[in-house]
Structure 1
Amino acid sequence: MSGPRLRLLREPLGLVRGLQAFFSIFAFATVGGYGGAVSFRISCFGQSNVTVTAPFAYPFRLNEATFSPSLTGLCNGTWPRDLHLVGDFSSSARFFVAVAVLAFLASMAALGLYLGYLHLYRGAGGRLPLLDLVATVALSFLWLVSSSAWAKALGDVKTSTAASLPGCPQLNVTCSPAGVTPMGSLNVSVIFGFLNLLLWVGSSWFVYKETEFHRPAPPAATPTA
């Protein structure tokens, strides 16, 4: 790759695209790679304590997370059926991850276009920069919606996993929380989401400068005598 093309990576147009690809990876990795669990310690009169655990992970269908070992065999049938966590937050989580993956692919495609075909990009009569601007604005909007939706869903996930175990307290039965897996990486994912939003909104200015709307109009030709 020639020197002038590599220098584009140090210019705002190319540098921001590289940052977008980099931070979008962290956005979907912190959500898609998360796995946790909720645990309770159950004490029944005349029986040894038992710890039950409900694991959960992306895409955060908590209503499918079942406590193990089964509560139906504990405390003389206090719980007639298996218990699940509450809530299905898969739509927000999947939307956030899908936007992050789409943003990664779009930023890499744009970066490849800049590095390999910059002469065509700037010499296509303004069509390619205009399409680039439309895609950049659209992805900025998707980052805003998906990050906001995921931030709300994450708050609901924390509320659901912090709730008490249904069926407690009862006579001769004591349920106490035994711990929830920390969600620090999920908090970071929200930060990455809004950081990507800022990057895409900021890059729209640099793409706009490549369009014909920003370029000065060519001087009018003077008639010859």
Structure 2
Amino acid sequence: MCMVIFAPIFAICAFATCGGYYGHLRVKVDCADSRQSNRSINIEFGYPFRLQQVHFRAPLCETKREEILFLDGDFSSSAQFFVTVGVITFLYSLLATVVYVFYQNKYLKNNRGPPVDFVVTVIFSLMWLVSSCCWAKALSDIKTATKPTKVLLLIPACSAQENKCTAAQEPHWSRLNTSVVFGFINVILWAGNIWFVFKETGWYKMGQRYPTRSTSGKREMRQRLYSESSFEIQEENFGMQAYRQGSFNQSQMSQGLPQTYLGQPVM
């Protein structure tokens, strides 16, 4: 029940904090020429973080013209993979909630529902782990690519010593950091649910019903069978000896008795 309640909530928090992000940074270029002094440049970027498509205009201090520059890096694959996993797990969690609440009998019918749920849970656990690790690495690269000091290196006017370039505003990363945290929370949540789903399958009961014997147990069983068989062989030998002894005594007694013929002793 906890999985049914918390899985959709954490999935929404994971892909919503990543998919709806917009960042903003600002740098200032102060040219030695007073005609273009203290020029502010605003740069905006966001999901899916195709930074090579984000452009901005930078002044050319030698002339009055401006040039168009682009940021470096494309991190859309990691971000979209993370968001896609979040959306798919959210939809599956809603479907599982409906099945648990309204179709419990069909879920347990012929023991088909729990094995399918177990396999899907394992797959989603691995997907959350891979996507969270990839997104954490991509976020670190995004922070480096959008660092104001790194952006200033892209502006040719900032390479001249007579011009002054400063970072005015850095992007806020708290939202994206939260998305990474929610990603690993989903990893823990889905991985922990594997054990509970496994207990609902028939595999757990079969493992308890037919426990495997250890090597020492097999050795003790062999010794017990060997001792029982030896005891039975000894009993059979003792019975045969007793039978032979009885037969021998009976034959001796029959030889010692006098024989009679019509009531007369026969010598």
Match of 2:134 in 1: 149
Name the counterpart of 1:66: 55
Residue 106 in 1 paired to residue 92 in 2? yes
- Counterpart of 1:9 in structure 2 is none
The 5 Å alignment of 1:107-122 reads: 107-122=93-108
Structure 1 pair 77–86 and aligned structure 2 pair: CA distance change class (3 A): farther
| Alignment partner of 1:135 is 2:120 | yes
| Whole-angstrom CA distance in 2 between matches of 1:20 and 1:115 | 15
Q: 2:4 corresponds to which letter in structure 1?
A: R
- Once the 2 structures are TM-superposed, how far is the Cα of residue 126 of structure 1 from its aligned partner? 1.7
Deviation track 1:30-74 (CA, whole Å, cap 9, x = no partner) reads: 00111012211000013221110110010011111112xx22x44
Work out whether residues 164 and 177 of structure 1, in 8 Å CA contact, stay in contact via their aligned partners in 2.
no
Q: How far does residue 171 in structure 1 lie from its aligned partner after superposition?
A: 3.6
Q: Secondary structure at the match of 1:82?
A: strand
Larger RCO: Structure 1 or Structure 2 (Cα < 8 Å, ≥ 6 residues apart)?
A: 1
Verify: 1:34 aligned to 2:13, yes or no: no
Overall identity of the aligned pairs, in %:
42
Contact 1:31 1:189 in 2 (8 A): yes
Q: Kindly state the Cα deviation for residue 175 of structure 1 after the two structures are TM-superposed.
A: 1.3
Say whether the 8 Å CA contact 2:55–2:69 is kept in structure 1.
yes
Any conservation in 2 of the 1:41–1:52 contact (CA below 8 Å)?
A: yes
Q: TM-score, normalised by structure 1?
A: 0.84
Determine which structure has more spread, i.e. the larger CA radius of gyration. 2
The match for 1:56 is: 45
The answer to whether residue 198 in structure 2 is matched with residue 208 in structure 1 is yes
Structure 1 runs of 4+ with >6 Å offset: none
- Compare the two structures and name the one with the higher helix fraction: 2
Q: Which runs of 5+ in 2 are unaligned?
A: 210-267
**8 Å contact from structure 1 (residues 18, 108) kept in 2:** no
Is the CA contact 2:60–2:66 (under 8 Å) kept in the aligned structure 1?
no
- Corresponding residue of 1:94: 80
Task: Normalising by structure 2, report the TM-score.
Answer: 0.71
